[in-house]
Every structure is written in C-alpha cells, then in structure tokens.
C-alpha cells in the first residue's frame, strides 16, 4: 500500500478508525467512505490519474462505472485518458444504460468503481458491456476491500488494497472493551 495515497484517504476522513458495524453485521476497527475523498476535485483527479496509468496501453474507447459510487471515478479516469465516461444504473434492480448512453459493438471499455467489496456491481456492469457485444479490457478501483474471490474475468487494478480485520459481534475485541460502536450507514452511508 502506497503511503502517500493512504495519507490522502486518512486526511480527508475517507478512511476512518474506530469501531464500526458493517452492512454485513460484522464489526471492524476501520471503515472506508470514498465519497469523502472524492468530494475534493484535486484529490479525485490525482487518484484517478494514477489509476488511469495502468490502463493507458489498453486503447479503451470509454470508461464505464456503476452509479452512484463509480461515477466520479469513471469521469476522472476518462479525463486522464482522453476518452468518454458513461455509467450504468439500476432500474427495477437491473443494471441499465440510460440518458442516451450507448456502447457500440466494436468498443473496448474499462470498468471502474470507487470501492470493490463483493464485486456485484462490477459484474453487472461487465455483463452490460458484453450484452452490447463490446469488450472489457480492464477493471479498476480506488480501494479493494474484498475478502473473498471476486469471480471477475480480469484481476482488478486497485490503488489501495484494504485488508480490514472484521469479526462476528460475539468475537469482537472492541465490544469486549466496551468501545462505543458506530453504524456507518447512519452517518457515512454509502
């Protein structure tokens, strides 16, 4: 993990230390909220241009992300590469292209995210690209906090590899020390 990148996430409050209840119900001593770093355009630009360097030789024609978390990342990666950025969004639970966005059959796309946790949104975007007879040549994210195999066709490129410990509540050492817990969903909703 690169220290200068980690510092940006910490200084903007995107990477929090404490006692958190995750959406899975498990407890952790750290929490990532990427929107807090992406609210600063200069940080968004810097981080996404770093990510874009990994993809420069792939000659992609567009970057695509799942809304809402990936939209700024797609925009800034695309800006660094001089290509266009689009996003997919769920309509009745199904990942869809709206707003006049189109993917042509011969295109090569990059799929990006802010944080990859389970890879579900990323997989849905890849399926959307493939359904248009286009190709995915790269997957990228600012932070990878996946704990299990992601079942993706390509290995994602991630700026930060987050290996947060997490526990069942009954085994949480922070609970055992009576440290107050925060549900990030209430204050840091993703």
Distances (CA, A) of 183 to 13, 76, 97, 121: 16, 30, 32, 22
Q: Is there binding between residue 174 and Zn ion (CB under 5 A)? A: yes
Cα 50 to the center of its chain, rounded Å:
15
Interface with Zn ion, residue 79, by CB under 5 A: no
Nearer to Zn ion, 127 or 168 (CB): 168
Q: Nearest Cα to 140, choosing from 43, 66, 32?
A: 66
Cα–Cα dist 84/63, whole Å: 6
Evaluate whether 76 touches 65 at the Cβ level (below 8 Å): no
Minimum Å gap between C-beta 35 and Zn ion is 24
User: Given the rule CB under 5 A, which of 32-40, 109-117, 127-135, 165-173 is the region that contacts Zn ion?
Assistant: 165-173
| CB of 22 or CB of 152, closer to Zn ion | 22
By CB under 5 A, which span of 50-58, 69-77, 82-90, 167-175 interacts with Zn ion? Answer: 167-175
Residues that bind Zn ion (CB under 5 A): 27, 172, 174-175
């Amino acid at each position: 993990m690169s220290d200068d990148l980690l510092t940006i996430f910490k200084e903007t409050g995107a990477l929090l230390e404490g006692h958190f209840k995750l959406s899975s119900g498990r407890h952790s001593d750290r929490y990532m909220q990427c929107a807090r770093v992406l609210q600063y355009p200069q940080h968004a630009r810097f981080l996404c241009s770093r990510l874009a360097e990994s993809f420069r030789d792939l000659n992609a024609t567009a970057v695509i992300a799942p809304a809402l978390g990936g939209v700024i990342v797609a925009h800034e990666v695309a800006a660094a590469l001089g290509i266009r950025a689009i996003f997919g969004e769920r309509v009745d639970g199904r990942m869809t292209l709206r707003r006049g966005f189109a993917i042509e059959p011969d295109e090569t796309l990059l799929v990006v995210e802010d944080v990859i946790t389970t890879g579900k949104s990323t997989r849905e975007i890849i399926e959307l690209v493939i359904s248009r007879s286009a190709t995915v040549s790269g997957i990228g994210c600012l932070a990878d906090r996946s704990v299990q195999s992601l079942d993706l066709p390509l290995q994602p490129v991630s700026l930060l590899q987050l290996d947060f410990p997490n526990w069942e509540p009954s085994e949480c050492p922070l609970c055992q020390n009576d440290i107050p817990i925060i549900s990030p969903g209430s204050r840091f909703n993703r």
